[in-house]
Structure 1
Amino acid sequence: MTSKNSRQIALEALRLIQRRKAYADVALDFTLSRARQNNIILPESDRRLITELVYGCTRRQKTLQAVLQNFSQKPTTKLPPDLLIILQIGVYQLCFLDRIKPSAIVHTTVELAKENNLTGLSGFTNGIMRSILRAKEKEDILANISDPASFYSYPEWLIELWQKEFGQEAIANICNWFNQTPHLDLRVNLLHATRDQVLAAFTEAKIPAEPIPHLPDGIRVGQGAGDVSQLPKFKEGWWSVQDASAQLVTYLLDPQPNEIIIDACAAPGGKTTHISDRLKNTGKVYALDRLANRLKKVDQNTARLGITNVETLEIDAREFDAEKVIGSKCDRILLDVPCSGLGTLHRHADARWRQTPDEPYKLAKTQSEILECATQWVKPEGVIVYSTCTIHPAENEEVITQFLTNHPDWQIVPPSVDNPAAHFASDRGWVKVLPHEHDMDGFFMVKLQKS
């Protein structure tokens, strides 16, 4: 399989993303699957290149557009759609990949144009790529992009939100953090193994992995580990993939043996299985989700991990009646509510382009409704943990502040000093993980209890 063919596969995936509005991960999986069906065997290095080009060009499309516009005599909007994508693939390699020779990048870009019925524009392609290459050899061509939204490749409203929330001095750090390849974090399944045992298995396989600070069962795996399902002890259920921030949520919930716990927005089940792990397979965990196909993932995860105390329930949390459905109120509730995902933009290359300025406020209404309903499911002395994977205040602090105003008999319970979440707690008692400060996904979580 040649690298030229790899770029063709990347082009096909980017077509689906840019012209058919397909999700980036879905488009990538589809094109790789089609390649397998066509008996194209891809070495791991080619798969990595395809993945890098698809996700990188999607994340950086605004930056790539700005570079191309600076060197093209034609408006980029007037270029044939395929040619624009081909040029984006070429420019991305020149600007963001240093392991490929620049002359090879120019050549493969021109050839890709020819192979996609753009022979008449191969001279234009060659000219613009060589102009960019010559300029790059003399100066940092990205430094000529003065607009922060184009330089970092984000919608303007997001840049403005972060400037307001974190200050101008934090913009570079937060934008760069979300433009990087995501970490691969694991959580050890204590029902089957210890962290030391898992680390030893990775060491034996010569795969770099290290403990995550402040997380007793967390492991961070080095870049380029490959297919997760092929990593040591996956099939044996020794660990799950779960970002460090997401692991904090269950520690804040602090489940105790034999308790009844509801995970109200459970799929795909990372936090559900963590709760079961902390319960040591005792008690009962009810995993709710409104979509049956998402609950199948919960069932698959519990089966692989050897978990037996989880029952899945297909229901919208806003329609759930604990006493009617499960026969009693519960001890603890986890509300990992649907959110804008603005704390995990690096994990979803196209998410920044799909969200709108209004969406977090619409979601806050749903989040508040779910939180309001949950107050009816919990025992008088029970607790609720509310969490999101966003760093938008409308979905976090504002939801909780309004809830406490409406329910003066409820209060925030800060994590105890020995709780892993305590390291990230604010003066108000809630926990806020900031990606650019903590090198973890952006998360918000708070523990609530009746006074």
Structure 2
Amino acid sequence: MKPSKSVFSVDNASSLDHNGVTSREVAWRVLLAVAAGAYANLALERELGRNFLLPGDSGLATELAYGSIRRRLTLDYWLNQLGKIPTSKQSPPLRWLLHIGLYQLLFIERVPSAAAINSTVEIAKRCGLKSLAPVVNGILRNAHRIQQSGLPLIVPDKLSSKLSVTHSLPEWLVRKLLVWRSQSGLEAFTLACNDSPQIDLRINPLRASREQVLKDFIAKGINAQPLPELPQGIQVSGRLGNLQTLPGFQTGHWCVQDRAAQWISPLLDVQPGHRVLDACAAPGGKSTHLAEIMGNTGELWAIDRSKGRLHRVRDNAQRLGLTIINTLLADGTTLLYKKPEWHQTFDRILIDAPCSGLGTLARHPDARWRINDSNIETLVQTQCQLLARLILLLKPGGRLVYATCTVNPEENEDQVSNFLNSTTAWSCLFQQTRWPSPIYGNGFFAAIFES
């Protein structure tokens, strides 16, 4: 296997920030944190917060951290062929540092090989791995020689194992994808999931127009363009740095939301004055979208069982100037017991159900290593309970949308079929799965129910 390379640019990016912490070291520390159980996005946010980096440096740190996590399995196979000690027996600091160096050599086109090797060796010297610096240097130089010679990675003969190594996906997931999509569909899926996703924003029409936000961005030299078929969506690219410093963030002109997620809220067909329930709301992207569509008129309850994540819903609503959003700490599966007076009182209900997240592997690089068949079985049970119990809160003639960010039929089409087989009181007007792609963003599923 000869890996394809990202065209990520490091032109004019500094090698050190003013604290002397390289973007590569930040990425390495993210990998250490993720290996210890942290979520990649939170670990990256924490490390970037600790170290001031120029936009080019923070972009490189993000690409190295997320890319190395996505390609973990492939990188391990390379290291097992390059070194004498298998990765399973290497110390975590050495293993993840080698991942950072090797990822640059194999997958980033515009990082010079000398910079990739020398910077990785330098981190080893100053971060407690000085005695192993010659090992790091030798393995990476050997990798560079093999890469230059065009010799491929030796992969298993078994199809599912070979595809697992080639695309850096768990083998259980590869086997499922071959059933769901065939090998050609799997290739398209992995291409999307191993790519670095674009950053999408949703304009708050109560405070700004898309045209004005685009003008503001372009005036600041920021690459921005409208998203087709999404009236409030735009895509931004380039060296953005901290998104909170971009024009319009503090004044609530926009929020970050993947283009796929922007398709969901309009399916509810909410109207000003409606009473709406967002049953699994945090961090609030769809709650705020619904409130914007409602013209900030009516009543919207955002429910979540995570106190910390519910704070983010309130913070986002406040920044966007949305006053109709109420928050409640609760579990959707037991909400009717907690609020019996809510029986048949909502015009619209959104169940953005907890799921395996298989449609968001590009944006959440560590998700592929966290989920397994056992997790999915538990999630399916929870999804079934949410749908069966929350629909009892819907008014006669109301509408419920069940949505996930996965492409797993067990969590999507099968849930719809099982629910409809259990009752004659409801019908499904529409259901669709969209697989992850550069056009549609994350993969997702949505189904519309009415009585």
Which of 127, 131, 140 matches 1:129? 140
Note the alpha carbon deviations across 1:45-70, whole angstroms, 9 max, x for none. Answer: 22222222221211111111111112
Counterpart of 2:283 in structure 1 is 268
2:433 aligns with 432
> 1:363 and 2:374 equivalent?
no
- Residue of 371, 393, 398 corresponding to 2:409: 393
Q: TM-score, normalised by structure 1?
A: 0.89
Over the matched positions of the two proteins, sequence identity in percent amounts to 38
| 1:14 maps to which of 17, 31, 34 | 31
**CA 1:116/1:305 → structure 2, altered by over 3 Å: closer, same or farther?**
closer
Moved more, 284-293 or 274-283: 284-293
**Cα distance in 1 for residues equivalent to 2:222 and 2:266:** 28
1:201 aligns with 2:216: yes
Distance 1:165 1:258, change over 3 A: same
Where 2:392 maps in the other structure, the secondary structure is coil
**Secondary structure, aligned partner of 2:448:** strand
Distance 1:112 1:226, change over 3 A: closer
Contact 1:208–1:221 (Cα < 8 Å) also in 2: yes
1:106–1:129 contact (8 Å) kept in structure 2: yes
Q: Closer, same or farther in 2 for the Cα pair 1:46/1:319, shift >3 Å?
A: same
SS of the aligned residue for 1:358 comes to: helix
1:271-310, aligned counterparts within 5 Å?
271-310=286-325
Give the deviation of 1:366 after TM superposition: 0.7
> Does 2:168 match 1:157?
no
Rate the CA distance shift 1:258–1:116 in 2: closer, same or farther, 3 A: closer
Q: How far apart in 2 are the matches of 1:15 and 1:388?
A: 30
Q: Which SS does the other structure have where 1:409 is aligned?
A: coil
Query: How many angstroms apart in 2 are the aligned matches of 1:129 and 1:268?
Result: 41
2:70 to 33, 49, 59: 59
> Is the CA contact 1:253–1:384 (under 8 Å) kept in the aligned structure 2?
yes
- 1:91 paired residue number: 102
Letter in 1 for 2:267: L
Contact 1:67–1:141 (CA under 8 A) maintained in structure 2:
no
Q: Residues of 2 paired with 1:327 and 1:358: CA distance?
A: 33
Change (3 A) 1:79 1:294: closer
Which position in structure 2 is the counterpart of 1:416?
none
Q: CA deviation at 1:430?
A: 0.5
> Which segment drifts farther, 178-187 or 77-86?
77-86
* Partner residue in 1 for 2:122: 111
Alpha carbons 2:230, 2:263 under 8 Å: kept: yes
Q: Give distance in 2, aligned partners of 1:234 and 1:152.
A: 36
Deviation at 1:431, TM superposition (A): 2.0
Runs of 4+ in 1 over 6 A off after TM superposition: 143-146
Task: State the 1:31 CA deviation.
Answer: 2.9
Q: 1:242 maps to what in 2? A: 257
Contact 1:390–1:442 (8 Å) recurs in 2: yes
Q: In structure 2, what is the equivalent of residue 232 of structure 1?
A: 247
Q: Could you tell me how far apart the structure 2 residues matched to 1:379 and 1:267 are?
A: 24
Q: What is aligned with 2:60?
A: 49
CA offset at residue 231 of structure 1?
1.5
How far did 1:142 drift?
4.8
Kept in 1: contact 2:58–2:241 (CA 8 A)? no
Residue 448 of structure 1 corresponds to: 449
Contact 2:401 2:446 in 1 (8 A): yes
Distance 1:33 1:242 in 2: 21
> Is residue 337–residue 367 contact of structure 1 (8 Å, CA) maintained in 2?
yes
Residue 314 (structure 1) aligns with: 329
- 1:21 is displaced (CA, Å) by 2.0
Tell me the CA shift for residue 9 of structure 1: 3.0
Match of 2:269 in 1: 254
Equivalent residues of 1:433, 1:440 under 8 A apart:
no
The answer to whether the 8 Å contact 2:353/2:404 transfers is yes
Of 326-335 and 125-134, the range deviating more from structure 2: 326-335
**Displacement of 1:262 after TM fit?**
1.0
Give the structure-2-normalised TM-score. 0.89
1:212, 1:218 within 8 Å by CA — same for their partners in 2? Answer: yes
Greater mean deviation of Cα atoms: 133-142 or 233-242: 133-142
The alpha-carbon distance between structure 1 residues 68 and 411, as it changes in their structure 2 partners (threshold 3 A), is same
- Conserved? CA contact 2:406–2:443, under 8 Å: yes
8 Å Cα contact 1:256/1:278 also seen in 2: yes
CA distance in 1, matches of 2:181, 2:227: 25
Cα 1:132/1:359, change in 2 over 3 Å: same
Distance 1:445 1:75, change over 3 A: same
**1:116-160 alpha-carbon deviations (Å, 9 max, x no partner):** 444443333322222211121121645867621111111001111
Would you say the 8 A contact 1:323–1:329 is kept in 2?
A: no
Change (3 A) 1:221 1:44: closer
CA RMSD of aligned residues (A): 2.1
Pair 1:215-2:230 in alignment: yes
Cα distance in 1 for partners of 2:346, 2:85 equals 64
Tell me the equivalent position of 1:74: 85
Deviations 1:315-374 (A, max 9, x none): 111222397455861111111111111111111121110101222221111111111112
Match of 1:187 in 2: 202
Measured in 2, the distance between the counterparts of 1:143 and 1:78 equals 20
Structure 2 distance, partners of 1:170, 1:127, is 38
Residues 192 and 438 in structure 2, CA contact (< 8 A), matched pair in contact too? no
Q: Unpaired runs of 5+ in structure 1?
A: 36-40, 414-428
